């Protein structure tokens, strides 16, 4: 699995890292908190690079992209993604956001509807009450020790500067600690087709994903027997359910091509 193109673009005062695989209609891949392009999307890229032009992006403070000493917001991430796509001369694309990346692609549709074709919102939320009980209480007490070891190892393999890992954790955890419920308008204003995906044992409650699905006029819903993201990537123990990921990939292809 080799990218056709990879590199950096200067975007809003930082160098953002990206990788491009395959060819066809553009599908932008936005990773979750604490993660990077291939950690979340390796399995997806291997299945879809023959069908689409896949553009993976490392967000600020993540992977190989520069760090900023300002609070992370989903709106800022959307601004960065839009600016990077402009640098790549991509005028319109579909977006697949996982976890916090799902929040970012919702903001893409809200702030940049003119460049948004279709959205895949995977394991995401818009209200604190939608997360499993105790989630935000545990975030309030989170330390670097509570960050999953696989995410730490992944970050340090890309970027061995430990102070940057500390910055990433600090910015990511503060974003969740200070999260305020979104207005329903963020969802009701989305005019493009949306596919919501979640696991029945995910960190957000299935009822919350159903609620989001009901708010978006042109939406489809897929809740799978899975934990957080294990329908599209390895779980945090490193186990990969290839058949389940095949099923997700097949549904995504159907959604994007019909």
Model confidence at 26, in pLDDT bands (50, 70, 90)?
very high
Q: pLDDT digits over 72-95, tens only?
A: 999 999 999 999 999 999 999 999
Model confidence at 139, in pLDDT bands (50, 70, 90)?
confident
Q: CA 114, CA 251: separation in Å to the nearest integer?
A: 25
pLDDT of residue 58: 98
Question: What domains can you pick out in the chain, each with its CATH number?
Answer: 5-257 (3.40.50.1820)
Q: Which of 133-137, 166-170, 187-191, 251-255 has the lowest mean pLDDT?
A: 133-137
Q: pLDDT digits over 43-72, tens only?
A: 999 999 999 999 999 999 999 999 999 999
**Per-residue b/e over 49-87, b at no fewer than 16 CB within 10 Å?**
bebbbbbbbbbbbbbbbbbbeeebbbebbbbbbbebbee
pLDDT at 1 over 90: no
pLDDT of residue 82: 98
Query: What percent of the residues of the chain are helix, what percent strand, and what percent coil, each to the nearest 5?
Result: 40, 20, 40
pLDDT at 11 over 90: yes
Q: State the chain's mean pLDDT as an integer.
A: 96
Q: CA 109, CA 53: separation in Å to the nearest integer?
A: 20
In the numeric block, the tokens 């006029």 are attached to 217
Nearest-5° angle of CA 196, CA 202, CA 208? 55
Residues 246-258: what's their mean pLDDT? Answer: 97
Residues 4-27: what's their mean pLDDT? Answer: 97
Residues 139-149: what's their mean pLDDT? Answer: 91
Q: pLDDT digits over 180-237, tens only?
A: 999 999 999 999 999 999 999 999 999 999 999 999 999 999 999 999 999 999 998 8
Helix, strand, or coil here: 111? helix
């Amino acid at each position: 699995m080799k990218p056709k193109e990879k590199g950096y673009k200067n975007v809003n005062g930082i160098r953002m890292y990206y990788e491009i695989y395959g060819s066809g209609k553009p599908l932008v891949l936005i990773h979750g908190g604490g993660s990077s392009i291939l950690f979340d999307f390796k399995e997806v890229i291997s299945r879809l690079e023959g069908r689409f032009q896949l553009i993976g992006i490392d967000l600020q403070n993540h992977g190989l992209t520069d760090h900023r000493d300002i609070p992370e917001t989903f709106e800022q991430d959307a601004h960065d993604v839009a600016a990077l796509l402009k640098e790549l001369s991509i005028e319109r694309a579909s977006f697949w956001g996982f976890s916090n990346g799902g929040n970012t692609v919702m903001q893409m549709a809200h702030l940049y509807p003119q460049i948004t074709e279709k959205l895949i919102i995977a394991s995401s939320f818009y209200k604190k009450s939608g997360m499993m009980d105790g989630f935000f209480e545990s975030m309030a007490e989170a330390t670097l020790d509570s960050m999953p070891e696989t995410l730490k190892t992944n970050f340090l393999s890309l970027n061995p500067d430990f102070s940057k890992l500390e910055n990433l954790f600090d910015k990511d955890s503060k974003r969740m600690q200070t999260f305020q419920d979104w207005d329903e308008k963020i969802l009701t204003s989305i005019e493009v087709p949306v596919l919501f995906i979640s696991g029945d044992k995910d960190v957000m409650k299935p009822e919350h994903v159903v609620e989001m699905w009901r708010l978006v006029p042109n939406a489809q819903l897929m809740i799978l027997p899975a934990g957080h993201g294990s329908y599209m990537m390895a779980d945090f123990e490193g186990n990969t359910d290839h058949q389940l990921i095949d099923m997700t990939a097949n549904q995504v292809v159907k959604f994007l091509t019909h």
